[in-house]
Structure 1
Amino acid sequence: MQHIASLWRRLQYRFDNLVSRSTPALIGWLTLACFAAVVPVSVVLVWTDRRPPSTFSGRLEAVWVSVGQTLKIGGAVGSPLYVLASILLALVALLFVSALVSLITTGINQRILELRMGHSAVLEARHTVVLGWSDPVFSVIAELVTANSNQRRSTVTVLASKDKAEMEEEIGARLRATGTTNIVCRNGCTTDPAVLARVSPQTAKAILVLPPDGDDGDAHVVKTLLALNALTPETGDAIVVAAVHDAHNHLTATLAAGPRGRVLAIDDIIARLVVQTARQPGLSLVYEELLDFAGDEFYTVLAPALVGRTFGEALLAFSHSSVVGLLRADGIALNPNPGTTITASDRIIVITQDDDTAVVADAACCIDEEAIVTANPRPPTAQRLLMLGWNRRGPLILDQLALYLTAPTRLDVVALGDEPALGGTYDAAGAPQHLDVTFHSADTTDPRVLGRLDVLSYDSVIVIGDTGHASPPPFVTAQAPEADDRTLVTLLHLRAIEEATHQEIPLTTEMSDDRNRLLAPVRAGADFIVSGRLISLLMTQISESPYLADLFDELFRAEGNELYLKPACDYVRAGEEVTFATVVASARRRHECALGYRLRAQAATGPTYGVRINPDKRQPVRFTPDDWVIVLAES
């Protein structure tokens, strides 16, 4: 057996050497091999034929005909010159046919390879272009599919430095159905203008630039925006929406985006929402409902019937839509004075199910004046807050918290790293006097640490991904991959504390990956700020309605109008059945826009967890002292 194996290996070795030689030598050996196989077989066929030629020369002639037909060189018989001429013509024909087949096959293979690699150009108009590949891309595509569900045909084109087949496979795995939306993937570098031309951004209606994963995510976004400007220097009607992680890079990206661009600062927005939600439990659920295309969202409508009437009257002019502001020639006016007159050029900003569901239907007749109460503003109270974890968003959260506080507040920050290093990332000297921040170095995944903290004594607990350090240098945006893992472990111990004490911890959690939220061991209806999903929802909303960039900017700021969850008993009598029109009328007296409510009894029941946005103003509802009204107000 060893001898046979050795012989086989030697034959393989000689064959490999033969194949590796020059093309003429390879052709010669293949020709000899063909003749060595065809001639003996042809001889056998002729000599074993039922009626072989009677003469030896006749049999040799028959062998030649068989060889010629088999090798496609004619096999003609006659004079030697005639035979040579026929062989030459056959070889010339064979050469040209082989070359032609080879060229056609090569061209087809190259085209197929080009298509599979995603290098072909897209010929679409009024489509949406998504540039970049990161986890939020799935939420972006899913929301675009939902937004386009009422259109007969729409296209979303994705360009990223990733294999086309892999992109299509991952999208297919995460999105089971795309409805009327066609998803087209192309491979290439988004910072190369020549490659950008493949997705035809010149004819697109919207372009979304996603920050890729990695340390140079923000720099990549800026270069992509510059490449877009180089490809389409003239201003078109396509809205460009981009996102950067570090707020320090926001101005740079805005300059690169140009006048048609809108750039979101992810860390800044997340920090604002974390603080707003920590102050008002349940607010994250409200934003989730408003930003998700599957529910009610912001639209603008023309209402000729309301021209000349006041904004206060418009609040009750739509029974199935909630009025929150005006879109005027000079910009957005959220929650303007109720006495503001609506002009012919104004568009009314409403929260409604779709752009065709905002129909004027007066609900003023459903107001129960007797049920309206007038409550005095509640005085600010001192608070104790606890933050578990520390990352690059930590200083931003503390800065935003200082803007909102009006009463003495103590904040304890517990995170990895030494206390001087943690404290050095926050400018305590510039903070307001009523915010007292203390840093503690400890591992929040250790149950003994949480036990010593007496978590239940705090008014609110904020859990963020703990990396033990603050903001990295400019253009470096990566967060430690284990940050969400540490958050899950911390939440597990907090859940154990709730179950052991039978008390609820007012908890706000910040995560990076939406998939980890499904694993979070917290009670149903808890507040989550998932940066990836939230930013993808914002980008999609703005890409469909550009004016929303200014609207959300005001909602997320400490100044101006914001969303609040206020006690329902401050607006109407608790325990009595009232229409939501009565709640809207009560809020109007306080210069507020009521747009929904949250019922305490349903706070742990999905999928809405008691949140009802844009209810029918004519339908009755009974509030308890523990329920909330969702309003748009300045304070």
Structure 2
Amino acid sequence: MLVSWLVLSCLAVVVPVSALVVWTDPGSPRSLSGRLSAVWRTSAETLRLGAPTGAPMRMALSVLLGIVALLCVSTLVGVITTGLGERLTELRRGRSMVLEQEHAVVLGWSDQVFTVVGELAAARAGARCVIAVLADRDVAEMEEALTASLGRGSAVRLVCRSGSLTTVDTLALVTPRAASSVLVLPSDAPEADSEVVRVLLALRAVLGDEPGPPVVAAVRDRRQLPAARLAAGERGTIVETDATTAELLVQSARRTGVGEVLRDLLDFSGVEFHLVDVPAAVRQGSAGSRFGDLLLCFERSTVVGVLGPDGQPLLSPAADTVVGPGDRLIVIAHDGVPEAPVDCRAYVDPTAFAAPHSQRVGPVRVLLLGWNRRAPLLVEALGHSVAPGSVLDVVVDETQVTPVQDQASSPQAAARLAVSCRSGELLHPENLRDLDLFGYDTVIVLGADSVDGPGHPDDRVLVTLLMLRELELRAGRVLPVVAELGDHRNRALAPLGPASDVVIRGELTSLLMAQIAHNPHLAAVFGELFAAHGASVHLRPAHHYTTPGCEASFATVVAAARERGECAVGYRRTDPEAGTGHRHELRLGPAKTERRVWHARDEVVVVANDSAGSDQPYGTLDAVPGMRHDHGDDTALSGGSPGRRPSHDSPEQDRTRGEGGTTG
């Protein structure tokens, strides 16, 4: 019917117009039959039917041929249009093969993907950067979300593909064999860790036994670590998300600002960890150099450890540790370009060194508001860093008291940490007023893993922070608070006090994954840095190193830290007159020649072993200035000589300690 109406409409327009053209042409035939023949020829040429004249049969056959030709051309145009449409639909669905080489592959989708993609792009700044993302989501939505996160002016080329991550054919679409690195992210589903193991198995089937790109994956539950390591094989590195987040919460509770320091050290926007060879100009013969002498051999780079020929790192070793010919230096620098050695010993002023002193810190009181699956790991990590007699009070909803009490009873933490649990609605201000908040050394606020119904898990945390901030302002006292958030966009919304900090769940894991993907040799370094025992990042009061009020170079601070068995990497300046604004300025990797006046409120960023300071019997939470412990000292786990990491007696102990760390 549609074709018939189309034919009638064409004839109704073409024939009258052709007749009008013929009748208005001065050169047209005078006879009626001649003019009708001219109308026929004009109409036939317009409709592409040919224009033969003569017998009616001949004209009918001409019309038939014209219609057949028109149908053939229309069919050809339809086939081409349909093929192009299907091809575009397939491309839009993300089912085509990626033809790139040396690109980064990201498998999975969660809140971590924005941090991972952003850091991968920052790591390749100035070079051609292609990132292929494969997830079981709509391609257009992924491209729009990632483009908005990176910014419209980003030079990164994003290639998104959609499909099942556990299917071998789907994984082959992103050509992981030709990639420079592959990162596997856990989703937000309850069975995310099992899915990561299946993805690693499928990836292993795609890559085969041949050498391929380094694979970095993350799991949430430590019970899935053995399976994930077996599935990843020798090329894989597994990062434990929940344990890393719990450890960061504890470190941030120990000293406000540690989270900011770790973020600055692990992202690609400032200083990062690098591996460099020992400069020939400072190498002392074939026997090697002493580690303490190498701390002042660079002006901008900061030496923090040694990586042995076997790949075993040693962070913040003793000053008399010998660095052999096959060892490499672990440095913190602004870029990976080797720096020419400079003798900075001339800038050290020994008269500015602070007098050695020791201060024992007793038990602490910690308040934990909320509970989630990372809370037992937090209790365990907290038990390793406090003195005996410390107290942890947990406040949860009434329905959670009994199961939380059972989960919080950690055998490892029971010897030092007494855990008590009580019920209370955190969204009611009167419940918080009854807690004697200012009697605690620190307050930790945890968000829920998921929320049934409307809202976001971060909503309760933000409201709790708002009420804590109001109580802090009303009392006119400093309240140290560490809060856990799930969405990095809510960091700017959090109402924080001068001694408060925010930990974004999974952010540190994302930064670690990007760093290891960019330089796989750093996996062992980060495993040592975030292990339960060993070296870690600390913020120490500046009066531990220099006399308050004196002017000294940063080389002086480095030398003073060396005497304490520590490696100074930067400082955090505090402005007491800044009010509620930006009171702190963090500087990592300053020049050794930089001179400034060191005040009592300033802090020095150091990499130190937990065994440093053998006069302290146990590790404790750093006291916040102005709270119960005004001296602000901190202690670390005792055992071993100052500045030396406890040695491993056997490979079995190495493997046991590695299971508690963050990297495999």
Do they superpose with TM above 0.5? Answer: yes
Q: Which residue of 2 aligns with 1:595?
A: 569
Q: Which residue of 2 aligns with 1:13?
A: none
Return the letter of the residue paired with 1:408. G
Return the letter of the residue paired with 2:528. E
Q: Which residue of 2 aligns with 1:420?
A: 402
Q: Is 1:142 paired with 2:118?
A: yes
Return the letter of the residue paired with 1:264. V
Change (3 A) 1:480 1:265: farther
Q: CA deviation at 1:398?
A: 0.6
1:317 to 283, 287, 297: 297
Equivalences for residues 194-233 of structure 1 within 5 A:
194-233=169-208
Q: Is 1:545 paired with 2:519?
A: yes
Q: Which residue of 1 aligns with 2:632?
A: none
Q: CA deviation at 1:374?
A: 4.5
The whole-number CA distance in structure 2 between the counterparts of 1:564 and 1:481 is 36
Q: Which residue of 2 aligns with 1:451?
A: 433
Number of residue pairs the alignment of both structures matches: 602
Q: Is 1:483 paired with 2:457?
A: yes
Return the letter of the residue paired with 1:594. A
1:359 to 327, 336, 340: 340
The whole-number CA distance in structure 1 between the counterparts of 2:421 and 2:600 is 37
Post-superposition CA distance 1:74-112 (Å, at most 9, x none): 132123343344334333433332232222222222333
Return the letter of the residue paired with 1:327. L
Q: Is 1:395 paired with 2:395?
A: no
Could you say what secondary structure the match of 2:53 adopts? coil
1:493 to 451, 461, 467: 467
The whole-number CA distance in structure 1 between the counterparts of 2:450 and 2:162 is 37
Could you say what secondary structure the match of 1:583 adopts? helix
The answer to whether the Cα contact below 8 Å between 2:380 and 2:412 also exists between their aligned partners in 1 is: no
Q: Which residue of 2 aligns with 1:173?
A: 148
Q: CA deviation at 1:552?
A: 2.0
Q: Which residue of 2 aligns with 1:383?
A: 364
Post-superposition CA distance 1:129-162 (Å, at most 9, x none): 11222222222222222221143x2222222223
The whole-number CA distance in structure 2 between the counterparts of 1:326 and 1:488 is 42
The whole-number CA distance in structure 2 between the counterparts of 1:208 and 1:467 is 23
Q: CA deviation at 1:586?
A: 1.7
Change (3 A) 1:279 1:160: same
Q: CA deviation at 1:261?
A: 1.1
Q: CA deviation at 1:207?
A: 1.0
Change (3 A) 1:349 1:177: farther
The whole-number CA distance in structure 1 between the counterparts of 2:254 and 2:220 is 24
Equivalences for residues 13-52 of structure 1 within 5 A:
18=1, 27=3, 30-31=6-7, 34-35=10-11, 38-39=14-15, 42-43=18-19, 46=22
Q: Which residue of 2 aligns with 1:435?
A: 417
Post-superposition CA distance 1:500-533 (Å, at most 9, x none): 1111111111111111111111135731110133
Return the letter of the residue paired with 1:456. F
Could you say what secondary structure the match of 2:408 adopts? coil
Q: CA deviation at 1:340?
A: 2.2
Return the letter of the residue paired with 1:413. V
Could you say what secondary structure the match of 1:304 adopts? coil
The whole-number CA distance in structure 2 between the counterparts of 1:525 and 1:64 is 93
Equivalences for residues 509-520 of structure 1 within 5 A:
509-520=483-494
Could you say what secondary structure the match of 2:395 adopts? strand
The answer to whether the Cα contact below 8 Å between 1:467 and 1:479 also exists between their aligned partners in 2 is: no
Post-superposition CA distance 1:391-437 (Å, at most 9, x none): 11111111111112223111111112332232122235564332111
Equivalences for residues 485-634 of structure 1 within 5 A:
485-523=459-497, 526-601=500-575, 609-634=584-609
Of 189-198 and 77-86, the range deviating more from structure 2? 77-86
Change (3 A) 1:351 1:483: same
1:406 to 378, 387, 404: 387
Post-superposition CA distance 1:161-191 (Å, at most 9, x none): 2333322222222222555432222233322
Return the letter of the residue paired with 2:306. L
The whole-number CA distance in structure 2 between the counterparts of 1:175 and 1:82 is 69
Q: Which residue of 1 aligns with 2:96?
A: 120
Equivalences for residues 283-322 of structure 1 within 5 A:
283-305=258-280, 306-307=282-283, 308-322=288-302
Return the letter of the residue paired with 1:493. M
2:239 to 260, 264, 267: 264
Change (3 A) 1:486 1:378: same
Q: CA deviation at 1:464?
A: 0.8
* Cα RMSD (Å): 2.6
Of 155-164 and 84-93, the range deviating more from structure 2? 84-93
The whole-number CA distance in structure 1 between the counterparts of 2:379 and 2:220 is 17
Q: Which residue of 2 aligns with 1:340?
A: 321
Return the letter of the residue paired with 2:59. V
Could you say what secondary structure the match of 2:362 adopts? coil
Q: CA deviation at 1:625?
A: 2.7
Q: Which residue of 1 aligns with 2:442?
A: 460
Change (3 A) 1:109 1:518: same
Q: CA deviation at 1:459?
A: 0.6
Change (3 A) 1:467 1:130: closer
The answer to whether the Cα contact below 8 Å between 1:272 and 1:397 also exists between their aligned partners in 2 is: yes
The answer to whether the Cα contact below 8 Å between 2:244 and 2:508 also exists between their aligned partners in 1 is: no
Could you say what secondary structure the match of 2:171 adopts? helix
Q: Which residue of 1 aligns with 2:139?
A: 164
Q: CA deviation at 1:52?
A: 5.7
Q: Which residue of 2 aligns with 1:252?
A: 227
The whole-number CA distance in structure 2 between the counterparts of 1:225 and 1:150 is 31
1:106 to 56, 60, 82: 82
Q: Which residue of 2 aligns with 1:3?
A: none
Change (3 A) 1:176 1:554: same
Could you say what secondary structure the match of 1:461 adopts? strand
The whole-number CA distance in structure 2 between the counterparts of 1:604 and 1:539 is 37
The whole-number CA distance in structure 1 between the counterparts of 2:514 and 2:412 is 37
Q: Which residue of 2 aligns with 1:14?
A: none
The whole-number CA distance in structure 2 between the counterparts of 1:437 and 1:480 is 33
Post-superposition CA distance 1:288-319 (Å, at most 9, x none): 11012111110111233243211111111111
Q: CA deviation at 1:372?
A: 1.9
The answer to whether the Cα contact below 8 Å between 2:480 and 2:499 also exists between their aligned partners in 1 is: no
Return the letter of the residue paired with 2:544. D
The answer to whether the Cα contact below 8 Å between 2:313 and 2:524 also exists between their aligned partners in 1 is: yes
Post-superposition CA distance 1:476-522 (Å, at most 9, x none): xx999632100000000001011111111111111111111111111
The answer to whether the Cα contact below 8 Å between 1:321 and 1:357 also exists between their aligned partners in 2 is: no
Q: Which residue of 2 aligns with 1:55?
A: 31
Change (3 A) 1:606 1:286: farther
Change (3 A) 1:246 1:148: same
Change (3 A) 1:439 1:487: same
The whole-number CA distance in structure 1 between the counterparts of 2:455 and 2:322 is 53
Specify every segment of 5 or more residues in structure 2 that has no aligned partner in the other structure, as ranges: 611-664
Q: Which residue of 2 aligns with 1:129?
A: 105
The answer to whether the Cα contact below 8 Å between 1:131 and 1:158 also exists between their aligned partners in 2 is: yes
The whole-number CA distance in structure 2 between the counterparts of 1:537 and 1:500 is 37
Q: CA deviation at 1:559?
A: 0.8
The whole-number CA distance in structure 2 between the counterparts of 1:431 and 1:370 is 43
The answer to whether the Cα contact below 8 Å between 1:301 and 1:358 also exists between their aligned partners in 2 is: no
The whole-number CA distance in structure 2 between the counterparts of 1:341 and 1:481 is 57
Could you say what secondary structure the match of 2:398 adopts? coil
The answer to whether the Cα contact below 8 Å between 2:363 and 2:386 also exists between their aligned partners in 1 is: no
The whole-number CA distance in structure 2 between the counterparts of 1:448 and 1:358 is 58
Q: Which residue of 2 aligns with 1:155?
A: 130
The whole-number CA distance in structure 2 between the counterparts of 1:29 and 1:365 is 97
Q: Which residue of 2 aligns with 1:472?
A: none
